[in-house]
Amino acid sequence: MARLLAPIQGRLVREGGRLMTPYGHDLESPLWQGAEIGFLESEETAEKAAREALRRGWLLGVHYPLVQAHRWDWAPFWLAPEERARSEARKAARRAVRRAADLGAAYILFHYPWPALVDPTADYLSAGWKIPPTAQDERLWPRDRLAELSEEVFSSLDEASRDLSVSVILELDGPNHLFFDPDPQQDLCRALFADHPDLRLCVDTGRFGLLARQHGGDPLAYTARWLPFARHMHLHGARWDRGENHLPPLPEHEDDPGYTPAAAMARMVLRAHPQALTVLETDLRGATADAASRSMRYCAAL
């Protein structure tokens, strides 16, 4: 069975005596084995969420940022134009790893690359992407330069992970082709993770589906390509024809070509890595109670 972790963002909510997340996850379910906390409203809320998870005997993870300062606060500014700012981003990441260790977390997840690198000729709006104001034209970072700067980031995170005994996971970000090129020969990601085997990659099923749609790739092929480095999943469904994400996966979606093959991707990861952690990153606010319950049982049984 998949090891399910609850995503806790914003704050915990009490509803009818049950502890819930703002996105509709019932934390009283016996299927949870951990929690991934992040994007919380305050340090006090973060500490309460961490204590609650550890009190239940759950594995604890952190999704950077632990506390969200503003809407597009997703990751350190790894690719700032100035070296001083890039250096500060690496220092900020190390502080975040230390904070995760202080909270008792087993891991911390960062988005990379950040800010999002975009193709100025692509019609992202029609594909359903909300492009952040911090996004940069990907032509500002030629492939060799991006590889050089990425190596600096990976090396810094590798060192922090070893020094502080907290696993570091990276989730690929942004609708760019520099990391999501359908051609494996253009792959920057594989070389970086091969050189830093202690770092882990997050397979985000919905994101991989939408990015594959954007770039003419195949989400199953992306999963297979990076499978040696994948020890972590953000599991949720997506409708590629509508740009909808964070949908609760259900068995009837498996044969529907309108949905990204989230379950097939999850099975691929779990066959290779049975102990991989699976964050059920779904938004249940529009789902019925029956659909939410069915989806959780279905995902746990993958």
**Cβ neighbours around 35 below 10 Å, total:** 27
pTM value?
Answer: 0.96
Residue 198: the pLDDT is 96
Three-state DSSP state, 245: strand
Confidence of residue 294 (pLDDT cuts 50, 70, 90): very high
Residue 211: the pLDDT is 84
Residue 205 near residue 235, CB atoms below 8 Å: yes
Residue type, 216: G
* Selected residue with higher pLDDT from 116 and 54: 54
Residue 237: the pLDDT is 94
Residue 214: the pLDDT is 80
Which residues are within 8 A (CB) of 105 and not within 5 positions of it... i.e. 6 or more apart?
A: 50, 60, 61, 62, 166
Helix (H) / strand (E) element for 295: namely helix 289-300
Mean per-residue pLDDT of the chain: 93
**Cβ neighbours around 257 below 10 Å, total:** 8
Q: d(Cα 206, Cα 116) in Å, to the nearest integer?
A: 17
Residue 245: the pLDDT is 86
Q: What percent of the chain has pLDDT over 70?
A: 99
Which residues are within 8 A (CB) of 94 and not within 5 positions of it... i.e. 6 or more apart?
A: 156, 160
Helix (H) / strand (E) element for 67: namely strand 59-67
Summarised one tens digit per residue, pLDDT across range 97-150 is 999 999 999 999 999 999 988 888 887 777 777 788 889 998 999 999 999 999
**pLDDT tops 90 at residue 186:** no
Confidence of residue 248 (pLDDT cuts 50, 70, 90): very high
- Going from the N-terminus, what domains does the chain have, and what CATH number goes with each? 3-300 (3.20.20.150)
Residue 124: the pLDDT is 78
Confidence of residue 50 (pLDDT cuts 50, 70, 90): very high
**Cβ neighbours around 183 below 10 Å, total:** 8
Q: d(Cα 152, Cα 218) in Å, to the nearest integer?
A: 29
Residue 205: the pLDDT is 96
Range 1-13 average pLDDT: 95
Summarised one tens digit per residue, pLDDT across range 223-240 is 999 999 999 999 999 987
Confidence of residue 176 (pLDDT cuts 50, 70, 90): confident
Residue 166: the pLDDT is 98
Summarised one tens digit per residue, pLDDT across range 74-87 is 999 999 999 999 99
Residue 119: the pLDDT is 84
Tell me whether strands 3-10 and 32-40 are parallel, antiparallel or unpaired: parallel
Which residues are within 8 A (CB) of 264 and not within 5 positions of it... i.e. 6 or more apart?
A: 220, 254
* Selected residue with higher pLDDT from 41 and 240: 41
- How many Cα neighbours within 13 Å face the side chain of 124? 16
User: Can you give the length of the chain in residues?
Assistant: 302
Show the tokens assigned to 290. 């029956």
Helix (H) / strand (E) element for 48: namely helix 43-55
* Selected residue with higher pLDDT from 145 and 183: 145
